[in-house]
């Protein structure tokens, strides 16, 4: 199974889908004869339940996490070409959303958490910077306190890309509610899934109204029928009812799923122990980690490469369009010409501009606990349903390979 949510698909999701099909209501809206207000859509119910779970005031379902990021950035009233700092280790959508919003991405280093290095963020701030995009990679939250401090010192907005960390918390609060907005993914590799889809969370009333308009042809939030507001000329980034139905069933399973993932991650960590020459990546808040992966940093790159090859996996430097070095369109800033605000300085995106990130990723191996994704670099490990003997066997094999190839 690619992601933990997919492993949990069962009777609950089927029942929600069947109800949608029987009612023949495939849109979140109830038009004409179905618009009497008595039938609450699955999308709206999902939005309300996720907002309640996370403690964030507004939740907006979209057709992808990329759309959620784009809607949030477009809703922000920023000047064309303004800069947003983003880590060089993320998924390409984080950077693409910045460019498609008419803004300029500025790459920054990650630290041993494999999330944004607050010190490098501070170094990258200029008079054109308007925001910082924290990306909670591999299920674990970034150092939100330190990033919040940098943002407050410079008057910047903080955005959260939570695509890989649905359900993660930081000091007891769900990620996605610490910044101007947070964005989540519902694709098949995520903690809760609907195949595809996204979510925007925000406590900002005005930003929510503008993001809603952007995602739905300029409409006011929760339009009944067709009701224009004149707020903005919007697009169509909506979530439909079949997505909402599966997402609703999945979000109700999320707390129990996270308990299962964290228990198995803890068991795998304990079974591995502390082999010489490797250490677990640093987590700003270990208790808030989703438990979808377990990542180790090796002292030597060559050791990590040999171990990865023996395990049938890769170091994170080879993890597709998660490493800026592997993002050809980003390095070329290959946006459609009509979106180019100014000629970009391509030297800012060249391989080697983030030496610390390059070094860390070349020495990092991620073990799967709930996410099995060879493109991400998580193809060896265990599953959310793994029993103790499977966990022990995976740990024993990992330790054996680490020690034998040292």
Whole-number Å distance between alpha carbons of 260 and 132: 32
- Please, are residues 147 and 175 in contact by the beta-carbon 8 Å criterion? no
Whole-number Å distance between alpha carbons of 89 and 322: 6
CA distances from 159 to 57, 63, 201, 403, 406 (A): 16, 19, 10, 41, 40
What pLDDT does residue 34 have? 55
Reported confidence tier of residue 39, pLDDT bands at 50, 70, 90: confident
What pLDDT does residue 225 have? 45
Report the pLDDT averaged over residues 68-78: 97
Whole-number Å distance between alpha carbons of 215 and 168: 25
Model confidence pLDDT, tens digit, residues 110-154: 999 999 999 999 999 999 999 999 999 999 999 999 999 999 999
Model confidence pLDDT, tens digit, residues 362-405: 999 999 999 999 999 999 999 999 999 999 999 999 999 999 99
Q: What is the dihedral of CA 218, 28, 208, 133, to 10 degrees?
A: -110
Edge to edge, what strands does the sheet with 129-135 contain?
A: 58-62, 198-202, 181-185, 157-161, 129-135, 83-87, 104-108
How many residues comprise the chain?
Answer: 406
Q: Closest by alpha carbon to 239, among 216, 220, 214, 262?
A: 216
Q: What is the DSSP letter of 33?
A: G
Reported confidence tier of residue 33, pLDDT bands at 50, 70, 90: low
Helix axes 241-272, 11-23, angle to 10 degrees: 170
What pTM does this model have?
0.96
Contact residues for 122 (Cβ-Cβ < 8 A; gap 6+): 150, 153, 154
What pLDDT does residue 360 have? 98
CA distances from 65 to 176, 239, 272 (A): 12, 11, 34
**Interstrand relation of 293-298 and 278-280 (parallel, antiparallel or unpaired):** antiparallel
Q: For residue 144, what is the enclosing H or E element?
A: helix 144-154
pLDDT > 70 in the chain, percent: 96
Answer whether residue 228 shows pLDDT above 80: no
What pLDDT does residue 375 have? 94
Residue 395: phi and psi, rounded to 5, are: -65, -45
What pLDDT does residue 1 have? 66
Contact residues for 125 (Cβ-Cβ < 8 A; gap 6+): 85, 150, 154, 156
> Mean pLDDT across the chain, nearest whole number?
95
The full set of domains in the chain, from first to last, is 4-252 (3.40.640.10), 255-404 (3.90.1150.10)
Whole-number Å distance between alpha carbons of 368 and 93: 22
- Please, are residues 209 and 58 in contact by the beta-carbon 8 Å criterion? no
Reported confidence tier of residue 220, pLDDT bands at 50, 70, 90: confident
Answer whether residue 229 shows pLDDT above 90: no
- Please, are residues 147 and 134 in contact by the beta-carbon 8 Å criterion? yes
Model confidence pLDDT, tens digit, residues 304-356: 999 999 999 999 999 999 999 999 999 999 999 888 877 889 999 999 999 99
Report the pLDDT averaged over residues 239-268: 98
CA distances from 367 to 244, 286, 297, 347 (A): 31, 16, 11, 33
Reported confidence tier of residue 36, pLDDT bands at 50, 70, 90: low
Answer whether residue 279 shows pLDDT above 70: yes
Q: Closest by alpha carbon to 330, among 350, 316, 357?
A: 350
First-residue to last-residue Cα distance in the chain: 31
Whole-number Å distance between alpha carbons of 304 and 298: 6
DSSP code per residue over 342-361: S---GGGGSTTS-HHHHHHH
Residue of higher predicted confidence among 237 and 32: 237
């Amino acid at each position: 199974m690619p992601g933990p949510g997919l492993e949990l698909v069962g009777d609950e999701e089927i029942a929600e889908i069947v109800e949608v099909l029987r009612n023949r209501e495939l849109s979140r809206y109830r038009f004409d004869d179905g618009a009497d207000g008595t039938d609450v859509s699955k999308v709206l119910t999902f939005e309300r339940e996720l907002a309640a779970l996370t403690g964030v005031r507004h939740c907006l379902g979209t057709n992808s996490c990329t759309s959620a990021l784009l809607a949030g950035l477009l809703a922000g009233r920023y000047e064309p070409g303004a800069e947003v700092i983003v880590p060089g280790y993320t998924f390409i959508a984080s950077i693409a959303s910045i460019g498609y919003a008419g803004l300029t991405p500025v790459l920054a280093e990650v630290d041993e958490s494999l999330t944004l290095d607050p010190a490098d963020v501070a170094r990258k701030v200029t008079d054109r910077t308007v925001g910082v995009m924290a990306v909670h990679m591999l299920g674990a939250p970034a150092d939100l306190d330190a990033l919040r401090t940098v943002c407050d010192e410079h008057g910047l907005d903080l955005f959260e890309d939570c695509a890989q960390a649905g359900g993660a918390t930081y000091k007891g609060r769900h990620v996605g509610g610490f910044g101007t907005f947070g964005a989540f993914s519902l694709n098949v590799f995520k903690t809760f899934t609907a195949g595809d889809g996204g979510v925007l969370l925000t406590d900002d009333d005005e930003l929510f109204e503008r993001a809603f308009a952007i995602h739905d042809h300029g409409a006011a939030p929760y339009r009944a029928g067709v009701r224009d507001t004149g707020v903005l000329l919007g697009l169509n980034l909506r979530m439909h009812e079949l997505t909402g139905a599966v997402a609703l069933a999945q979000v109700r399973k999320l707390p129990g799923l996270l308990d299962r993932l964290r228990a198995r991650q803890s068991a795998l960590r304990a079974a591995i122990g502390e082999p010489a020459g490797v250490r677990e990546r640093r987590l700003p808040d270990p208790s808030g980690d989703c438990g979808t992966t377990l990542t180790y940093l090796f002292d030597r790159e060559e050791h990590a490469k040999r171990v990865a090859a023996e395990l049938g996996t890769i170091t994170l430097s080879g993890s597709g369009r998660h490493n800026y070095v592997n993002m050809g369109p980003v390095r070329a800033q290959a946006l459609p010409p009509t979106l180019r605000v100014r000629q970009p300085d391509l030297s800012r995106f060249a391989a080697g501009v983030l030496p610390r990130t390059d070094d860390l990723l070349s020495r990092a191996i991620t073990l799967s606990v709930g996410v099995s994704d060879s493109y991400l670099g998580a193809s060896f490990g265990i599953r959310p349903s793994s029993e103790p003997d499977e966990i022990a066997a995976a740990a024993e094999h990992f330790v054996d390979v680490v020690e034998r190839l040292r």
